[in-house]
Amino acid sequence: MNKTTVRYVVCTLIFVAGISLLSGCMYPGGKRQEQGVSYRESVERIQSAIDAFQQEKGILPIITAGEEVPRYEKFRIDLDNLNKQGYIDQIPATAFEQGGSAYFLVINEEVDPTVKVMDLVTVQKVNDVQRLVDQYGRSHLGQWPILGDAEVYPGLHEVDLPKIRGEEHALLSVFSRQPLPYLIDGEGRVYVDYAWDIMQAVDKSGMAVGEEHSDLRALLTEQSFFVPVKSLPYAWKDGTPVAQIEN
């Protein structure tokens, strides 16, 4: 078995053994993350609103973002505008604008605009780990806190959280509640490794995945309200999803 397959098998065993514990995990402040329950009504309501807005005005109610903004952070919905113009009666409590822990985004904006959720807890954890990685690099002459010497994927290592005293920033996936590792590239940029979730999505879909599939992250958005924020594209190589550094 290759390295990624071994990681997947090990993670599976950990997940099965610990699923009862993970199901009780909480957000900071004791608020449980209710994935499918708390977001379904909000997503459906906002979807109806943006559909009506686009039909009447010919544009989408999104906040302009630059080209440098990553794909799954880019087209944030202007909820204030939708509310002021009467397309929604109130902004959902799950939204950041109301003190919630999510941004609502549009994906497939040119073909089939679809409302999805960007989890801000994940974003904050990645930002916190990035800050610690940057501090480590400054104090270790440009070296990075990598776990072992071997690459996890071409050009990518796993972040060694204990090296940066970052254990408190351990991340649970919004898709599976499975613990996910952080990746780091040669420039010290930090990402979430969604290979576990993608493998689960492939298994669930029952589709025959081949190397011709350009970015497997699309499977996650097809099966969930969430987007894989702070991630890299994934290709299918030797029977496993492999993160790809973007040029």
How confident is the model over 177-188, as pLDDT tens digits?
999 999 999 999
Which is higher by pLDDT, 232 or 246? Answer: 232
Q: Is residue 23 predicted with pLDDT exceeding 50? A: no
Span 5-15, pLDDT tens digits: 445 443 443 33
pLDDT the model gives residue 178:
93
Binned at pLDDT 50, 70 and 90, residue 18 comes out as very low
What pLDDT sits at residue 209?
Answer: 80
Q: What is the pLDDT of residue 34?
A: 43
Contact 130, 190 (CB under 8 A): yes
Domain boundaries of the chain, sorted by first residue: 3-25+121-214+230-241, 36-118
pLDDT of residue 83: 97
* Nearest in space to 6 (alpha carbons), one of 14, 243, 58: 14
Joined together, the tokens standing for residue 93 give 């409590």
Q: In angstroms, rounded to a whole number, what is the distance separating the alpha carbons of residues 228 and 173?
A: 9
What is the rounded CA–CA span in Å between residue 185 and residue 212? 24
Give the separation between CA 141 and CA 36, rounded to whole angstroms: 45
- Residue 147's nearest CA partner among 1, 7, 2 is 7
Q: Which of 200, 232, 208, 245 is nearest to 11 (CA)?
A: 200
Mean per-residue pLDDT, 48-53: 98
Q: What is the pLDDT of residues 101-132, one digit of tens each?
A: 999 999 999 999 999 999 999 999 999 999 99
Three-class SS string for 164-227? HCCHHHCEECCCCCCEECEEEECCCCEEECCHHHHHHHHHHHCCCCCCCCCCCHHHHHHCCCEC
pLDDT of residue 224: 95
Contact between 46 and 92 (Cβ < 8 Å) = yes
